[in-house]
Structure 1
């Protein structure tokens, strides 16, 4: 019965449910899009197998595994955590000989994989979204790569994949960690390994071009029994991969890494999910409150509270299910759009595609229905419980819930936010995510005590708007009398500003701190030299440039990743290899020790990382280099200027030997005329050393990803704000009609509602600024000890103005639509 009544009610009162329908459709779309993206990245495979023609592969470690054991008395618990490496250690000759000597192994192909940079006619050559990886020509048969033009490479020659767009006869500059070579393109191959652009050099030149002492993997053809024998022959010195696992032997940098993408898309789902649930709950609650008179009438004719609850929940479920009809297709389309944008930003691997999963879509619909019906139950519980004799007294229905429970709930939520802001290291890698959690807790606390906060702020704002004249005085009185209505429109506006401002401003603060530290780091040098046709230059070339007599001091840095085990869990950190000569050209803000002591078996560590692990100068932590080589260097210094640089500093020579790329990304020079030193050097360019953008490409990509999430959230909350104002204004048709009949002109009613909108917008901005200020200010202190409300004043004021303008327009437009109708029909409605 309840279901039939609900369907009939929705069918005959479509306009009343329009706001809930729109919000639910958007919520389902956002939940579906976020869920599909996260599902796609969690279930994404490694991509096409480059070893398709092999029966098995043999390779060294591709991750660092740390095992911890805890004795719990009755049992011993063992845990193993892994962290993916960014490089591959060459296989020793003993392993190669052992595999080749196994009976039943028909053939063994050595694969030497190493990243390179290509340039032709002074311009970089690369395939969009693909890693450029070189191999010996014998490896081409493994995929297989088919020669479609030209011939196999000889000495001084190279064969390129067709996606690179270079024709035979072209001379290209190939840069690897061993140097730069000019090679003539003699052939083009057509491959089928997404995310990789193949480059093939003669087998005789692999060692010289790659710097590898052996193959990074072996591809074998053998019978199944022989594959098992190979595993016994290598005896733990390498790992044998078969079946779908063969691709694990590929170079780590050439295989998509979805770990970072899980964090990005998981956070995207968290933000959109919170915004969707928050706004949907508010919209449904407001819609139910607008029906208080109708509910009162039902109570007077004998409807029980349980019956009212069933009818309202059934109506909400019907609306939510109907909203899923347009919401799901919109969610699928949005998922594809977002995936494409995230791929372009480099936030997710280029191979990521959206997998449309039916259970995920069903879960999105179920979540939408659950939130809608739950919000309906919460909003209706007081109206359904009042005695029938009081049912028509709207003041009784609209009464406030107990103050004490609200205050208790808010206090708990605020305590949680304070704990997050004070106990969690916001300066670490999870700082941005934790700032969102703190913001969400404070927003929920604001909602819990919304009537109390809004009531107090309305008393102030209404008196301020009263100075505009009689209309302002009346608007203030109506705002104070309709506290619940004001709360309904303030909440989504507060959410819109606080949530998005926290994300955007936190990113701005982090970018500002990084830029400030970059300027301080390079203040001693005169120019920064970087490659124009690739990701960097070989170390020996940078050293030759630094030895020019006009250079009085130089510092070369090589970016890498280093794995550190912390609390039994390995984590990789951005790090740098450093080579310096002459006068100091780079100032890392050393607080303990001396960077001059940096040698082959030493390391310098950032202050936050040292503090987190309890390290001090003289300690010897265990680290793993990019190719998995374990080392125990002695800490010789700790430094403070690590943002946009790295948490560990190792000797450049050691990094270049163990990182597959191993190229100098930045060279800082001091001298009277150092710009002239690089003016005529091809492939190099000198810029101001203190350029705050230097070395911050990853941060800029991260900031762009944050801004994309802000755009998503802003779009949804903006629509929700407009929808909320429309629902609130439409519910006042009777009141506005009475004003018109009593002699008020349309202009006067418009002015009255505009002033009410100003009151609501002002309150929302005060609350939003307070929440964002508390979170962003604490986040800023965690970065460098300075309190900031914002990093860019114009950006902050622009956001305040945009949200305020949207709120005023959202309040004005529905008012003009309603007031523009005839008054008598309004009374009848």
Structure 2
């Protein structure tokens, strides 16, 4: 029996080719994702282990992390005076003060940014190489003095820099000219960042804004002294104001941060791979169902010769396992190629990884084969079960073809019950005020509605296809009638084929609704809250030098410039509990550039010196009112007690003001002296032309290429561009599932042509032309694809509307249905059908008439 199974597998390998391709693509997606993320993770793990100092000393801060420049523009620092103290600790071989700060900008003489804007960071570092430094000086000389800089070799080569070239460095404290005096080469993996090395005094004053401070102090242990021993000796000396960590702890912390990021990427990619696998299941299930139907006589003969039901069942499942084995093996190899391609892709962005570093771990191999073999075997279970029920005599008469004429009553009852439960879950998700619970209901509703629609799909096939293809007979005559009836002759097969396409299109439709609604909500929020004519902001989101605000205020045509700052902080309740937040600072005039709904007090009173404006949610939770004292823990470590001067209505809309405390810039800088501007709102002077003022500001700020001047229209375009970019990325990842769905349509038509060979021969014999035959197959494909599109759009609209209502509690108030995308989906489905039918239609038209009639 096993030998017969192998022979059967080889005999039908052509008919299984497309199913194998679906397995191959799905496995490649899974394996490539795991290899790629494992490679990135292991590479950086090694980088962290090899470059972390034996022991590091950093400033302890409860509300801001090391090198956290995203808000205030300042970072916690360690005084240089601490170095002699730690140098006296027994077991210390060497001590190096480190300045390292991300977010600076390097430009050429034409103010063109060197390094990716919005991509990998540009990091400023002091030149004081420790024993395990990641770079070596390979050309030129080390920086000495305020005007010299060393840049990493990858950046030098990418931007064609030369020694002696004049450059410009822009840090949060201001910009300054430098000369390229040296080139440093990575002796480990290039993490993709641009490294800019300055001498230590310059790095301290230009990057940190203060002489005599470092971001960390790095210690090397004497021989025979472990890292843990040195840490335990240093910690009591420096006291609780500082964090002392070993190389292992530092590497672990860095790896955990990277791991969290990689985990999100991996989970997202594997999620889309799972969708592709689900679509592949539909293809494989349909393939084996059709193969079992076509081999009814063969399987019946095996039963007549003594094969038991279990043996027939096992035979089909072994064929499926062989399909999965071959597909998994090829998919694993393609996954290697995919991972190498992704590595080359990120290398173009600056992160240089070698193909020899590709991590192929045994869990990846196990996962690849598990996905391929288990999925194909499970998908073939129902067809195998139907095959085992074939009666030998009935099979020899071909009177009991599996899958034909079986009652659909049970499917109807089960499907409708599942859809009813799914509808209840979706309605509950749309109305439940508890976001966590609503999210679970949405997930359950999506899954159940998908299952329910797949179950009742055969019941919907006849009415929907009659509606879709009702005009075919009028336009295409008898050919149109034949194509419509061919699609209707086996509702189960038609539904199974269409369901694969349905899944991908449902996700496209639902995500497009969420994306369009999000963009519309941002537009509405900008119109509602932003009163400023222009907005000046850093494209990276980092703060900029205060001279930017000075330049804005001095530009002709500017009537009012309101400067904003942000720092890490925490609201401290009366019982000592802390709510971490962003503390916002503003110069006078905020109420003239931003519309804020107030419950009590005014914006001006809330942002007066010594006062604070807080959100209504926090005020209600802690019983605060006008005049109440509020304790705020600032990023500097100081705690200030301010008076509530205003209570704003907490806005949950995207970009709205939540419970963040807002206070005067002068008050903020009492506690965080180095807090820098991160936004400037501008109102033009009366009579001034907004476009001219915008142009003047753009020219005045041109020396910093990352500082952008936008009006409200530009701001909306920016937000829409970011949403569109995300959606296009998602659509690209969904493309694999749609490709597999297309393969399913091709597969069904190809096997259908084989199954109907004699019928096709008879049609040709009574006068059906080759062109008419090709048109018939194409129209059949179009109607099946449109059936899938109708089901997919129905699901997608339900999912999208539910998700929008669920997210309304988070500010997604506007509902926008992208009709252009919906129409594109329908047109695209018809095009997919036409493309899928090209091969099967051509094959059908080339069949020899007499051979086809004689076909058994």
Q: TM-score range with shorter-chain normalisation? A: 0.7 to 0.9
Cα deviation 1:152-209 (Å, max 9, x = unaligned)? 3213443433444344444433222222233344444334453343323343344432
Question: Does residue 270 of structure 1 match 2:277?
Answer: no
TM-score (norm 2): 0.79
Q: 2:369 aligns with which of 355, 365, 368?
A: 365
Distance 1:456 1:394, change over 3 A: farther
Aligned to 2:685: 671
Aligned residues: 796
Aligned to 1:486: 494
Contact 1:105-1:226 at 8 Å conserved across structures: yes
Whole-Å Cα distance in 2 between the matches of residues 39 and 409 of structure 1?
A: 39
Q: 1:809 aligns with which of 825, 831, 835?
A: 835
Q: Which segment drifts farther, 722-731 or 105-114?
A: 722-731
TM-score (norm 1): 0.82
Q: Secondary structure at the match of 1:821?
A: coil
Aligned to 1:45: 44
Q: Secondary structure at the match of 1:121?
A: coil
Aligned to 1:406: 415
Aligned to 1:72: none
Q: CA deviation at 1:31?
A: 2.3
Whole-Å Cα distance in 2 between the matches of residues 727 and 176 of structure 1?
A: 66
Aligned to 2:23: 24
Cα deviation 1:345-366 (Å, max 9, x = unaligned)? 99x9999985333431231122
Whole-Å Cα distance in 1 between the matches of residues 595 and 136 of structure 2?
A: 50
Whole-Å Cα distance in 1 between the matches of residues 107 and 756 of structure 2?
A: 68
Q: Secondary structure at the match of 1:14?
A: coil
Q: CA deviation at 1:651?
A: 5.4
Contact 1:27-1:277 at 8 Å conserved across structures: no
Q: Secondary structure at the match of 2:47?
A: coil
Contact 1:31-1:272 at 8 Å conserved across structures: yes
Q: Secondary structure at the match of 1:45?
A: helix
Aligned to 1:786: 814
Q: What is the alpha-carbon root mean square deviation over aligned residues?
A: 4.6
Aligned to 2:713: 690
Whole-Å Cα distance in 1 between the matches of residues 5 and 54 of structure 2?
A: 62
Q: 1:110 aligns with which of 71, 93, 97?
A: 97
The 5 Å alignment of 1:442-481 reads 442-468=449-475, 469-481=477-489
Aligned to 1:279: 280
Contact 2:561-2:680 at 8 Å conserved across structures: no
Q: 2:233 aligns with which of 215, 218, 229?
A: 229
Whole-Å Cα distance in 2 between the matches of residues 145 and 331 of structure 1?
A: 33
Q: Which segment drifts farther, 479-488 or 663-672?
A: 663-672
Distance 1:124 1:319, change over 3 A: same
Contact 1:562-1:625 at 8 Å conserved across structures: yes
The 5 Å alignment of 1:489-568 reads 489-518=497-526, 520-522=528-530, 524-530=531-537, 537-543=544-550, 545-546=552-553, 550-557=557-564
Aligned to 1:73: none
Q: 2:741 aligns with which of 709, 717, 733?
A: 717
Contact 2:95-2:218 at 8 Å conserved across structures: yes
Whole-Å Cα distance in 1 between the matches of residues 180 and 196 of structure 2?
A: 10
Q: CA deviation at 1:405?
A: 3.1
Cα deviation 1:437-465 (Å, max 9, x = unaligned)? 86555333221222122233234345443
Aligned to 2:185: 190
Q: CA deviation at 1:270?
A: 0.9
Cα deviation 1:32-84 (Å, max 9, x = unaligned)? 2233345446656356349848432122458979xxxxxxxxxxxxxxxx999
Distance 1:441 1:94, change over 3 A: farther
Q: CA deviation at 1:228?
A: 2.7
Contact 1:104-1:222 at 8 Å conserved across structures: yes
Q: 2:86 aligns with which of 99, 110, 124?
A: 99
Q: Secondary structure at the match of 2:488?
A: helix
Q: CA deviation at 1:646?
A: 7.7
Q: Which segment drifts farther, 322-331 or 29-38?
A: 29-38
- Alignment gaps of 5+ in structure 1: 66-81
Distance 1:244 1:652, change over 3 A: farther
Whole-Å Cα distance in 1 between the matches of residues 18 and 496 of structure 2?
A: 13
Cα deviation 1:567-616 (Å, max 9, x = unaligned)? xx99998x684534447454355464554424788877889xx5999789
Aligned to 2:825: 799
Whole-Å Cα distance in 2 between the matches of residues 330 and 631 of structure 1?
A: 60
Q: 2:654 aligns with which of 643, 657, 663?
A: 643
Cα deviation 1:487-538 (Å, max 9, x = unaligned)? 132112212321233334533443443345345544x322333569996631
Question: Does residue 822 of structure 1 match 2:839?
Answer: no
Q: Secondary structure at the match of 1:364?
A: helix
Q: CA deviation at 1:814?
A: 0.8
Q: CA deviation at 1:242?
A: 2.4
Question: Does residue 126 of structure 1 match 2:114?
Answer: yes
Q: CA deviation at 1:802?
A: 1.6
Distance 1:801 1:449, change over 3 A: same
Q: Which segment drifts farther, 294-303 or 448-457?
A: 294-303
Contact 2:30-2:368 at 8 Å conserved across structures: yes
Distance 1:125 1:371, change over 3 A: same
Distance 1:752 1:641, change over 3 A: same
Contact 1:281-1:372 at 8 Å conserved across structures: no
Contact 2:785-2:832 at 8 Å conserved across structures: no
Whole-Å Cα distance in 2 between the matches of residues 362 and 533 of structure 1?
A: 41
Q: CA deviation at 1:557?
A: 4.5
Q: Which segment drifts farther, 641-650 or 545-554?
A: 641-650
Aligned to 2:14: 15
Cα deviation 1:611-666 (Å, max 9, x = unaligned)? 99978976999998789999998794345485367866555955999799955355
Aligned to 1:172: 167
Q: CA deviation at 1:315?
A: 0.5
